[in-house]
Amino acid sequence: MIDKTTTLTEAISAIPDGARIALGGNTLHRGPGAAVHELVRQGKRNLELVKTAGAYDVDLLCAAGCVAAVSAGFIGYETPFGMAPAYRKAVESGRVQAREHACATVIAGLRAAIQGAPFMPVAGLQGSDLPAARGFRTVRDPYSGVEVYVVPALVPDAAILHVQEADATGNGRIIGTRFEDVLMAQAARRVILTAERIVDGEAFADAPETVAIAGFLVDAVVEAPGGAWPFSCTPLYEYDTDYLAAWVSAARDPDTADRFIAERILDPAAAVA
Amino acid sequence: MIDKTTTLTEAISAIPDGARIALGGNTLHRGPGAAVHELVRQGKRNLELVKTAGAYDVDLLCAAGCVAAVSAGFIGYETPFGMAPAYRKAVESGRVQAREHACATVIAGLRAAIQGAPFMPVAGLQGSDLPAARGFRTVRDPYSGVEVYVVPALVPDAAILHVQEADATGNGRIIGTRFEDVLMAQAARRVILTAERIVDGEAFADAPETVAIAGFLVDAVVEAPGGAWPFSCTPLYEYDTDYLAAWVSAARDPDTADRFIAERILDPAAAVA
Amino acid sequence: MNDPSAEVAPWDMMAVAMARLLKSGETVFHGVASPLPMVATLLAKRLHAPDLTYLNITGSVDPQPAALPVSTVDPALLAGTRSLVTLADLFDLSGRGRLDVAFLSGVQIDGEGRINLSAIGDWKHPAVRLPGGAGSAMLMPTARRVILWRTRHDPRTFVERLDFVTAAGNVDRVVTPLGIFVRHDGRLEVESLHPGVTPEAFREATGFAVDVDERTPTTPLPSDEELAALRMIDPEGVVSSEFQ
Amino acid sequence: MNDPSAEVAPWDMMAVAMARLLKSGETVFHGVASPLPMVATLLAKRLHAPDLTYLNITGSVDPQPAALPVSTVDPALLAGTRSLVTLADLFDLSGRGRLDVAFLSGVQIDGEGRINLSAIGDWKHPAVRLPGGAGSAMLMPTARRVILWRTRHDPRTFVERLDFVTAAGNVDRVVTPLGIFVRHDGRLEVESLHPGVTPEAFREATGFAVDVDERTPTTPLPSDEELAALRMIDPEGVVSSEFQ
């Protein structure tokens, strides 16, 4: 068995500037918070972020100047905190390109990547301005003659996923909702797993149905207790309401956002995870 | 909660002649044996059978005159018993059409059905005579210009699946390998579940990862202890070597096959399941 | 205090109105940021639609949450589920025509029931970059019925012309704090005004032309039974969170 | 009893020869009706390729079965797996270029390493309807390396011309009871003859032209270590079942 455990610093340093990165979880839940903070600390640039529905991860990385483009269906904090202010400003100023998707077209693009197909057909999209704005094309079904929208393969250079338990070979157990993590693990060229704890994987053999991420797809495993924070990590902790409220408030202005990042993320004394 | 429990007779009587039926399991394992026998007893005609890799189910239904076409990647008993003699004779005589697939194109056709797409791209197939023989077409990727094979949607009128446990609302727990059962349950217009036992589904809430078939996709649930026989049903029983050897031997000749079916399947006194 | 409508909060009125639109046996889905659909679906299931199938992004099927989360993607919504499906599975369900109802919303909604969740101004150089349509561009043409809801009813929301069409499709009803639209022949028509809402107020709040007058029906107030069920499902009042 | 090759059964020779072709770190897949690949993969993993990833239709990853099933789709092959993948996942793995080795076979095999598992005679009106190619038409062009094996080596199997091309693609080696082919520039060449097999016997058993003579290397006999590991993995001799 290959021991794939490493440090967060090592795992994230393997991601080059300009990489297309899929981030696990959804809105406020089970995002790879610690890894996102490490991306900020390492000063990554020109990343393309891939997610169906992102929130703090995308917002923070936009504020920190790490992002060139966001390929997602929804970016916002849901009802508790509203819109993502730094993402919004970054797009409005032209610094970040919003490669807007329907969540279903993100999934279709990942599916094409997974299957080794150049594109994936997707039902719907009729009447939307998105296909024209994004250059999504139709093809004619050679059997029925019907036109259907197709989405190009969306191959992440890396997927960064946070799970509750992993073994040293990369098997990852997800408790509760899997979101798009399984698709991302299959679609990406490289998979980085952070885990609340690293356990002896022999126990996984008793309930392999709960192991959402197959170890042979994974390149690096990092033990990161609290590693989803400030996202939730069922059943261990909820999303951090106070922290997120403070961030969203700071993120409305570039200067306060910079100060927040300097004090609460970059300052080693304040190490958040 | 809707109680979907019914008898095998009722459940199978809802399948009309000429229906396209997906059969769960794979070769010797977890096929819906009892339901297949009921199809024979009810004298169904002109069925199209869909499976990646079939064995006794396809072979018996061909011998019994129930089948017009078989859409599958492999029909055979694997090493223990070799080829499927009744299927073979039925195709060679022209009574049954072999709609030969790669197993992967069965899956692609089911995926198209699941996603509501008219077709599904599939990697591979280059150099094979199958696309020409089956009329599988290519389309040109509008993004890269690459030609890729596409398979038309394969929508079963019904999927018949055997599981170890189900609740009355149709949630089905599969212990061990799921084969293509989950895809079939999603792709089919109607889903019939036979189960070793019907249990109180509240227990499923403790381990929903093990519930492969979501109840809301299911139309009918039948309690059928031993209902995979003569297929295996992990961990309850192995495939029935003696019975299958007797069948394969009988199936080589139409008269002995007819007698076998009359004595061991149609005769109520010999009720096999 | 003679006007009973004064005692009914707009979120209660909306949740009840949305619940009434759901039928037993239907498959019903909502996505992110959807407290009202969450409450409405649970309410319908408790009242008149026990065999409704409740689906959401957590992948639960008919969950029975002890307490309702404000985030409608919260794994708290898994409680009691007997199977796990994925968001991809649910899009597929809609794609193949088996999703009966999708709840969706829009920052802008036009007279055809089309929505904008993408941008204010030019999409390429937006004055305001909005969150994005999530699943709507795929769901709106494929779900059998789409119910839109929006907690704001003003001329900036209900507009003559969308800045960008994020999604268009099978809209059946639109529920707001002022009343209910129904779509006929591709146009939103006023089906009813909530109690206490005048035709003038509704007309002035709507940016496209609507046919509304004193003959327009009034949405029935929530019954005691409806309100009691609502309180039981949502004792913390999560239903009001979209109004903050 | 001076000839040690007389003591080595052809199935043992084949299993060992197949195992030697696998490398540590590779992802390796076999499908239905594949006892030899099952044994060979487990053998390689025990001997020289501990970090090989063993995949099969049961959806197990690196199972550690206590006893080997004759059916290579048997859920007995799940034992010890730490995750469950599906056959669809494995085709996808190959489709995106991440499957290193697929074991496949053919009732007919031609000089390019193409296979027929579909029909003898005309495909539409076959003299013999064969089982079908299972995953081969998809896997053969997409897996990085395909290893063919066939327990029969005669001119009806290794033919000049296939009745039907079920699959073609990235064939690397073909292992038979008589020897090993390697593919160079699109043609099967003889890499080695198993001990005791003469060039004449090999040539006569092969229906297409092959370049084989006394200089053709001999496949090394299984070592004591290889045979001991084989007995440990497969004490019941499932490896011989394809020869019955």
Averaged pLDDT, groups of 10, chain B, 273 residues long = 95 98 97 98 98 98 98 92 95 98 98 98 98 98 98 98 98 97 98 98 96 98 98 97 97 97 87 49
Contact A114 D96 (CB under 8 A): yes
Q: Does A171 contact D83 at a Cβ distance shorter than 8 Å?
A: yes
Closest-approach residue (CA) in chain D for A118? D96
Q: Residue B67 in contact with residue B58, Cβ under 8 Å?
A: yes
The answer to whether residues A137 and A157 belong to one domain is: no
Within this chain, do residues B166 and B42 fall inside the same structural domain, yes or no? yes
Same domain, B184 and B148: no
Regarding whether A159 and A261 lie in a shared domain, the answer is yes
Give the tokens for residue A138: 């139709």
C40 falls within a domain: yes
D contact test, residue of A217, A218, A221 with most D CBs within 10 A:
A217
| Separation between Cα atoms, residue A223 and residue A197, nearest integer Å | 5
Tell me if D100 is assigned to some domain. Answer: yes
Domain extent at residue D34: 4-234
Rounded to whole angstroms, the Cα distance separating C121 from C100 reads 33
Q: What is the mean pLDDT of residues D192-219?
A: 98
Contact list in D for residue B232 (CB cut-off 8 A) is: 74-75
Average pLDDT over every residue of C58-80? 95
Q: State the pLDDT at residue B271.
A: 55
- Cα C137 from Cα C31, distance rounded (Å): 13
In the chain, the amino acid numbered D110 is D
**CB-defined contacts A:C, below 8 A:** 177
Residue A77's closest chain C neighbor by CA? C33
C243 within some domain: no
Asked if D174 and D181 touch (Cβ cutoff 8 Å), the reply is yes
Q: Are B44 and B178 in the same domain?
A: yes
At C80-120, the pLDDT tens digits run 999 999 999 999 999 999 999 999 999 999 999 999 999 99
**pTM across the whole model:** 0.98
* Shared domain check, B139 and B92: no
> What is the residue-wise DSSP string for B217-228?
G-SEEEE-TTTT
Tally the domains of chain C. 1
Do residues D88 and D141 touch, judged by C-beta distance below 8 A?
Answer: no
Q: Do A120 and B118 touch (CB under 8 A)?
A: no
Q: What pLDDT does residue B268 have?
A: 74
C178 located within any domain: yes
> How many residues are recorded in chain B?
273
Nearest CA to D154 among D217, D208, D118? Answer: D208
pLDDT digits (tens, 9 = 90+) for D171-198: 999 999 999 999 999 999 999 999 999 9
pLDDT at residue B182 in the model: 98
Q: Is the pLDDT of residue D45 over 80?
A: yes
Task: Give the DSSP H/E element, type plus range, for residue A223.
Answer: strand A220-223
Chain A interface, best mutation among D28, D96, D100, by max A CB count within 10 A: D96
Q: Residue D170, Cβ neighbours under 10 Å: how many?
A: 16
Q: Is the pLDDT of residue D3 over 60?
A: no
Position C4 scores a pLDDT of 52
For D221-242, write each residue's pLDDT tens digit. 999 999 999 999 999 999 999 9
Q: Give chain D's length.
A: 244
- On whether residue B272 sits in a domain, the answer given is no
Residue A38 lies in a domain: yes
Contact: D94, A216; criterion CB under 8 Å: no
Local confidence band at C1 (pLDDT 50, 70, 90 cut-offs)? very low
- The answer to whether residue C242 is domain-embedded is no
Pairing of strands C171-175, C187-193: unpaired
| Total domains, chain B | 2
Task: Check if the beta carbon of residue B101 is closer than 8 Å to that of residue D139.
Answer: no
Contact yes or no for A186 and D89 at CB 8 A: yes
Query: Best of C41, C82, C142 to disrupt the B interface by mutation (most B CBs within 10 Å)?
Result: C82
A79 pLDDT tier (thresholds 50, 70, 90) = confident
> Is the same domain home to A146 and A174?
no
pLDDT score recorded for residue A273 = 44
For residue range C28-51, what is the model confidence (pLDDT) as tens digits? 999 999 999 999 999 999 999 999
Residue D52: inside a domain, yes or no? Answer: yes
User: Has residue A270 been placed in a domain?
Assistant: no
Same domain, B136 and B93: no
pLDDT of amino acid B1: 74
Nearest to A75 among C58, C132, C137 (CB): C132
- State how far residue A114 is from chain D, nearest Cα, in angstroms: 6
Q: Is A225 exposed, middle or buried (0-12, 13-18, 19+ CB in 10 A)?
A: middle
Query: How many angstroms separate the first and last alpha carbons of chain A?
Result: 29
Q: What SS3 state is found at B8?
A: helix
Does residue B61 sit in the same domain as residue B182?
yes
Contacts of A164 (CB under 8 A, 6+ apart): A173, A174, A175, A195, A196, A197, A233, A234, A236
Q: How far apart are CA D236 and CA D244, in angstroms?
A: 14
Residues A71 and A141 in one domain: no
Which residues does C219 contact at the CB level (< 8 Å), separation at least 6? C13, C17, C179, C180, C192, C193, C194, C195
Touching pair D, C by Cβ (3+ pairs < 8 Å):
no
- One-letter amino acid of D72: T
Is the predicted pLDDT of residue A1 greater than 90, yes or no?
no
Query: Domain for residue A72, yes or no?
Result: yes
Which CATH number covers residue B245? 3.40.1080.10
Residue B204, chain C, CB below 8 Å: the answer is yes
List the chains bordering chain B where 3 or more Cβ pairs fall under 8 Å: A, C, D
- The candidate with the shortest Cα–Cα distance to B204, out of C83, D84, C62, is C83
| Angle in degrees, CA B107, B111, B117, rounded to 5 | 140
Q: CB–CB of A118 and B117 under 8 A?
A: no
Find residue A162's DSSP bridge partners: A194
Inter-axis angle of helices D35-46 and D10-20, to 10 degrees?
60
Q: What is the pLDDT of residue B273?
A: 44
Amino acid D244: pLDDT:
73
d(CA C163, CA D198): 80
- What secondary structure letter does DSSP report for C241? G
In a domain, D35, yes or no: yes
ipTM of this complex: 0.97
Nearest chain A Cα to B116, which residue? A123
Mean pLDDT over A172-192 rounds to 98
A228 with A97, same domain?
yes
Q: How far apart are CA C118 and CA C131, in angstroms?
A: 6
* C to A contact (≥3 Cβ pairs closer than 8 Å): yes
Domain range enclosing A136: 124-152
D135 located within any domain: yes
Q: Are residues B147 and B212 in the same domain?
A: no
Best residue of B62, B78, B146 to probe chain D, by most D CBs closer than 10 Å: B78
> Which pLDDT band, with edges at 50, 70 and 90, does A81 fall under?
confident
CATH number at residue C201: 3.40.1080.10
* CA angle, B80 then B100 then B29, to 5°: 35
Spatial separation of the C-alpha atoms in residues A39 and A33, rounded to whole Å: 10
Question: How much is the pLDDT for D7?
Answer: 74
How open is the CA angle A200-B236-B190, to the nearest 5 degrees?
Answer: 100
Cβ-nearest to D27 among A113, A114, A216: A216
Q: Which of B101, B183, B234 is facing D88, going by the closest CB pair?
A: B183
Beta carbons of B115 and C92 less than 8 Å apart? yes
